[in-house]
C-alpha cells in the first residue's frame, strides 16, 4: 500500500495545525515550511474541511485551524477521507473489474486481508500520537514558541 501525496501532505498540514492549536495557520506558511505547492495545499485544506478535520478562517489573519482536538482525529479516518480509492488491484473495484478469476481468487483475498491490517494499524493512532514530540517537530518546522511568534 502506498499513500498518495495528497494524503501525505494532508497529514503534514494536520500535524502543523496540531502544533499551533490555538491559531489559524496560513496555507502560505505551511507550504513554505514543507516546500510544497500552495495551490495543492489549498485543495488539501478544502478536502480536510469537507471531512470535518479543519475549519477554514477567512481574512488577513485567516488560514486553517483544527476542527477537533488532536486526540479526536483518527489517522485511519484521515487516510480513508483523503485517499481517492483504496483499491489495491483491479479486482477490488467490482464495477470495473475484468478479471475472470476474481470470484475465486486467493490473491485478492490475501490483499484484502493485508489492506484491512494496514487500516487497522492506522486506526490505532490519532493526530496527537503524531505530534507528541512537539519541541523537536517545531524546531524542524522553524516554529518558535507562541509567545515569540508576535515578534516574527
How far apart CA 82 and CA 53 sit, in angstroms, is 11
Q: Could you give the CA distance from residue 52 to residue 37 in angstroms, rounded to a whole number? A: 22
60-109 pLDDT, tens digit per residue, is 878 999 999 999 999 999 999 998 877 666 666 667 777 787 777 788 88
Q: Which residue has the higher pLDDT, 136 or 70?
A: 70
- pLDDT (mean) for 10-30: 94
**pLDDT category, 144, cuts 50, 70, 90?**
confident
d(CA 110, CA 37): 37
pTM of the model: 0.84
pLDDT band at 149 (very low <50, low <70, confident <90, very high): very low
User: Is the alpha carbon torsion for 90, 91, 92, 97 positive or negative?
Assistant: positive
35/108 Cα distance (integer angstroms): 38
How far apart are the C-alpha atoms of 15 and 143, rounded to whole Å? 12
Domains of the chain listed by start with CATH number? 5-149 (1.10.10.10)
| 30, 16 Cβ separation under 8 angstroms | yes
* Tens-place pLDDT, residues 31-54: 999 999 999 999 999 999 999 999
Amino acid at each position: 500500500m502506498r499513500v498518495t501525496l495528497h494524503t501525505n501532505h494532508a497529514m503534514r498540514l494536520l500535524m502543523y495545525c496540531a502544533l499551533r492549536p490555538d491559531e489559524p495557520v496560513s496555507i502560505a506558511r505551511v507550504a513554505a515550511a514543507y516546500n510544497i505547492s500552495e495551490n495543492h495545499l489549498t485543495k488539501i485544506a478544502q478536502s480536510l474541511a469537507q471531512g470535518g478535520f479543519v475549519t477554514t478562517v477567512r481574512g488577513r489573519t485567516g488560514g486553517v485551524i483544527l476542527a477537533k482536538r488532536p486526540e479526536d482525529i483518527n489517522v485511519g479516518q484521515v487516510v480513508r477521507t483523503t485517499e481517492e480509492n483504496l483499491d489495491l488491484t483491479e479486482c477490488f473495484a467490482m464495477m470495473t473489474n475484468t478479471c475472470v478469476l476474481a470470484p475465486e481468487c486467493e490473491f485478492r483475498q490475501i490483499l484484502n486481508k493485508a489492506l484491512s491490517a494496514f487500516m487497522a494499524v492506522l486506526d490505532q493512532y490519532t493526530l496527537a500520537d503524531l505530534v507528541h514530540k512537539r519541541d523537536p517537530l517545531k524546531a524542524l518546522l522553524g516554529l518558535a514558541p507562541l509567545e515569540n511568534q508576535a515578534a516574527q
